[in-house]
Amino acid sequence: MLPYARIGAAFADALRSHESLTYPSPYGLRPLREIIARRRGVPVESVIVTNGAMGGIFLSMMAVADPGDVVLAEDPSFPQWAGTFRRFGVHVEGVGLADEGIDVDEVERRLAAGRRYAAIYTIPDFQNPTGRVSSGRVKRRLVEVAGRYGVPVIADNPYRELWFSREPAEFPQEARGASGSPLLEIGSFSKWLGPGLRVGWLIADPALVSRIAEYRLAVDGGVSAVTQAALVSMLSDERWVDDLLAHERRVYAGKATVLMDALEDRLYGDIDVVRPQGGYFLWARLPRWLRVEDDAVARELAAEGVNPLGGEAFFLAGGVRGRSCSGVHAAYARFSFAHASRDDLVEGAARLGSVARRLRPTLI
């Protein structure tokens, strides 16, 4: 599904210019920053190009945190970001998710109680792993609460473009890339142009962007000028970009439906899932006797050639492991419908269902 031929032609076009082999600006190529700014509706001075979303996370960490600080983050969450912060000596504390996103009421209670945080980390749209979408109300309130207490909000949003039927609400426009705003927005081309490109962006207060550009020279020196130039060549054709995204949304929406229906058919009564609204993932609650991390269950799954990613990998240390608001006997697993074919999604659900049927009478 990825546009290999178009990407190849764009790199060939980029290499016709000697400038693509010079050192890049630490801010990123101006034409690429302008394209990102136009598509995201922010000032170009608020945009810095990063080495993928992970590069945006790392630069955000350097901008807002010091060793010994504490970052507050939604729990469960994408585990790699927490590893980056912890290796830097930053502590991570979890806060639960509500139906509309991060639990802002709990965030406000902790801040009002005098807890000091270097930042609040959230994945607002099609969250990894749960697939939840933060509502416009939650996004606005989170920025308001964070601004009142002087705490930056790191909004890691690599899946935003892959909505199925309705585009998610934005953070309040007056906070996006504005001077004095607590909001840092991270985006990426990885999820819809190819992760191997390793190009993303960070949108923040222009003064913060300038500071990041200065000290990143001692970190990575900036993003490959060749890759940035190739992206400019591709992304300048806005109609092509819009058509590609529309196609990918249709494909992923169809695959999400196939996986959802197959899991419900093969594990009827033994699985609880919410239909994804976008992104890559389906988050499932399984019965206690089907914990995929348990050795006996893992052996049965391995014999079927099935290797689901257990939910415990996504809960932060000290967070709520293997528990949902509706009961303490639930386990979780994350299923991705992005890469596998429709046939493999159906086959995987069938094999998981076969294991569930074999284990149910012996372990209950």
Q: What is the mean pLDDT of each run of 10 residues along the chain (364 residues)?
A: 94 90 93 97 98 94 94 92 90 93 96 95 96 96 97 97 96 96 97 94 97 91 94 96 97 97 91 92 90 88 89 71 42 91 96 90 56
**Is the preceding omega at residue 76 within 30 degrees of 0, hence cis?**
yes
User: CA dist 109 to 76, 117, 207, 330, 345, Å?
Assistant: 19, 13, 30, 27, 42
Q: How do 153-156 and 119-122 pair as beta strands?
A: parallel
Return the SS3 of 43: coil
Question: pLDDT of 188-217, one tens digit each?
Answer: 999 999 999 999 999 999 999 999 999 898
Provide the pLDDT for residue 250. Answer: 97
Provide the pLDDT for residue 79. Answer: 87
CA distance 329 to 205: 44
User: CA dist 107 to 152, 155, 342, Å?
Assistant: 13, 15, 40
Provide the pLDDT for residue 200. Answer: 97
CA distance 279 to 305: 25
Question: pLDDT of 315-361, one tens digit each?
Answer: 886 444 334 434 444 688 999 999 999 999 999 999 999 999 888 86
